[in-house]
Amino acid sequence: MYTIQTYSPQETIALAERFASYLNPGTVIALSGELGAGKTMFAKGVAKGLGVNEHITSPTFTIINEYYGQVPFYHMDAYRLSDESEALDIGMEDYFSYSG
């Protein structure tokens, strides 16, 4: 495991944009961290790196936000889900079967 620290939202977005160039269609990235840790900023950078031109927002209440660039970008937030069955109920697993 690697640890990289950024010092501003702009640095986080730039790092994630570069990181996106190493991703393949169907890649799943899981982010974990406290509120305000920069998870959505990282997602914004990845989306930008994948050619998404839409405004990226946290899916805390919507649970899943879909965006389209060079490949589909699905931004999910499981914070409000109480267990695996809720994820299955909303069809979250369907998003993991996409292959590009």
Write out pLDDT tens, residues 12-49.
999 999 999 999 888 999 998 888 899 999 999 999 99
User: Are the C-beta atoms of residues 19 and 45 closer than 8 Å to each other?
Assistant: yes
What is d(CA 37, CA 21) in angstroms, rounded to the nearest whole number?
A: 23
Q: Is the pLDDT of residue 59 over 70?
A: yes
Hey, what domains does the chain have and what are their CATH numbers? 9-95 (3.40.50.300)
User: In the beta sheet, which residues pair with residue 72?
Assistant: 68
pTM of structure: 0.86
- Tell me the pLDDT of the chain averaged across its residues: 90
- Give me the pLDDT at residue 2, please: 76
Element (H, E) at 17: helix 9-20
């060079």: which residue's tokens?
A: 70
